[in-house]
Every structure is written in C-alpha cells, then in structure tokens.
Structure 1
C-alpha cells in the first residue's frame, strides 16, 4: 500500500466511523465531492491544506491519515445507501 492508498484508507475509515457521507464531508471541507472519492481510492495527491480541512471536519489530526492499517485490515465497508444525517 503506497502513501496515497494509506491516506485514502484512513480518510474513508474515519469518515465511515463518523457515519458521514462523501457529500457531507466534501461540503463541510469545501472540496469537490468527486475529489473525496478519488482521495479515498488513492487516486489523487492531496495537498496538506486539503488534508487539514478534511481532518478538521472529521475531528482528527492530520497525522491520523498516515496511520498504518493492520496487516489483516479488510476494505472499509461503505455506509448503507439512502439519506443520512450529517
């Protein structure tokens, strides 16, 4: 797993733990919704400014995005479909 995939895995993990949709995260962090998807899939290099915005919305420090996932970590399951609060 390269660093972009690691950051993406952790962004998705923290977002799902918070029960937040990609749409809500994007809106609250003032970034494009599609960019959140690219970021979570490790397809984009995020700037430190963008990571800081995302971390603030998720209530974590930027350093949390660089945590190494456990070796036996499963892919993060998506949230249930449909409308959600927040």
Structure 2
C-alpha cells in the first residue's frame, strides 16, 4: 500500500482524508500492525484509484522501499504556543 501511495505522491494524511479513515490507522496498516476489513480496503483502493486486488500484489524482488515524501507529516501547534494579541 505504501508503494502505491508514495508512487502517486500522496501523503498518509491525504490518503486518510480521501478514504475517510484516520491517518494513524493508515500508518498502522502500512507497518502491518492492523488487519483491515474489506470495507476499509475498498475505501483505500478507491482513494488510490487502484483495484482492491492491486493492494495484495507483492513488490518485485528488484523493488526498493519507497522513500518518505518530501513534506512529511504536517506539524501542529500546541495549545500553549498560540500568541495572544496585545500582550
């Protein structure tokens, strides 16, 4: 799944948004920690514009691990870091 996602230049966050599932769940799927339902596989395949069967195709022997996308995960501001106007 990661190979297909990164090949299309889609981040985990973007895939999660497109599929309507949590980004951390995408991460756990890619690390093979979770076992998805058929419904989740359908959502992911639609978001990636591939058939569900393509999610099960193992990479060839010459395939290398995909590199992380350049932007990485977006950073979020902590609640205490917001600036208050006039202070």
Please give the TM-score of this superposition, normalised by the length of structure 1: 0.78
Aligned residues between the structures: 73
1:40 is aligned to 30
1:73 counterpart = 2:63: yes
Give the alignment's Cα RMSD to 1 decimal: 1.4
Q: Which has the higher contact order (CA 8 A, sep 6+)?
A: 1
Higher helix proportion: 1
What runs of 5+ residues in structure 2 fail to find an aligned partner? 74-87
Displaced runs of 4+ in structure 1, greater than 2 A? none
Please give the TM-score of this superposition, normalised by the length of structure 2: 0.77
- Work out the CA distance in 1 between the residues paired with 2:37 and 2:16: 15
- Bigger CA radius of gyration: 2
